[in-house]
């Protein structure tokens, strides 16, 4: 039974990765919403697939001498949270870059940091956009543009040029 759970978990992960890669390959267009819906439905079907056997799983779990809590590994949990935080930060950064690029706003680089709270939630710590000195006039535009996407005002830093 644990092998089935592991296999299902791997299938869900692979479906999510392939879905994300597939959506990144296609440019934003009128068909993007349809494509997103199709990929979402595919991932949802993969996630719901084990419900066919849920009754058997609950029966096996109720007879098991171990509880699920006995398999906790704090080091593994921290590693998973750290990896999830890095992946989410990279995903968020990519999407914010796309927003700025689509709006034709120049920037030097972007840094996204995430916060991992004690209750296992990952939230946005800070989004910093670094712009060149000659692009400093775009700082307010960057703040206004990114605010709805991240729910907080991004930090915009003007990088001074060396004389």
**What's the chain's average pLDDT?**
78
C-alpha distances out from residue 84 to 4, 64, 78, 93, 161, Å: 23, 30, 10, 14, 35
CATH of the domain at 128: 3.30.300
Q: Does the pLDDT at position 128 exceed 90?
A: yes
Give the integer Cα–Cα distance in Å for 154 and 123: 14
What is the reported pLDDT for 59?
53
pTM over 0.75: no
Quote the domain boundaries for residue 77.
Answer: 73-163
Domain finish residue from 37, 71, 105:
71
Q: Does the pLDDT at position 158 exceed 60?
A: yes
- Look up tokens 């000195």; give the residue: 133
What is the reported pLDDT for 34?
76
- Span 27-50, mean pLDDT? 77
Q: Does the pLDDT at position 16 exceed 60?
A: yes
């Amino acid at each position: 039974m644990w092998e089935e759970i592991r296999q299902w978990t791997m299938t869900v992960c692979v479906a999510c990765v392939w879905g994300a890669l597939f959506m990144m390959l296609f440019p934003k267009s009128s068909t993007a919403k349809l494509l997103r819906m199709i990929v979402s439905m595919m991932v949802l079907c993969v996630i719901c697939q084990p419900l066919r056997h849920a009754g058997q799983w609950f029966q096996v779990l109720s007879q098991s001498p171990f509880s699920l809590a006995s398999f906790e590994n704090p080091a593994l949990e921290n590693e998973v949270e750290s990896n999830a935080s890095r992946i989410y930060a990279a995903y968020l950064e990519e999407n914010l870059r796309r927003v700025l690029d689509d709006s034709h706003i120049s920037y030097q680089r972007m840094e996204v940091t995430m916060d991992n709270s004690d209750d296992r939630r990952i939230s946005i710590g800070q989004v910093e956009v670094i712009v060149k000195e000659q692009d400093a006039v775009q700082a307010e535009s960057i703040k206004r543009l990114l605010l709805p996407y991240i729910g907080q005002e991004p930090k915009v830093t003007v990088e001074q040029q060396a004389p």
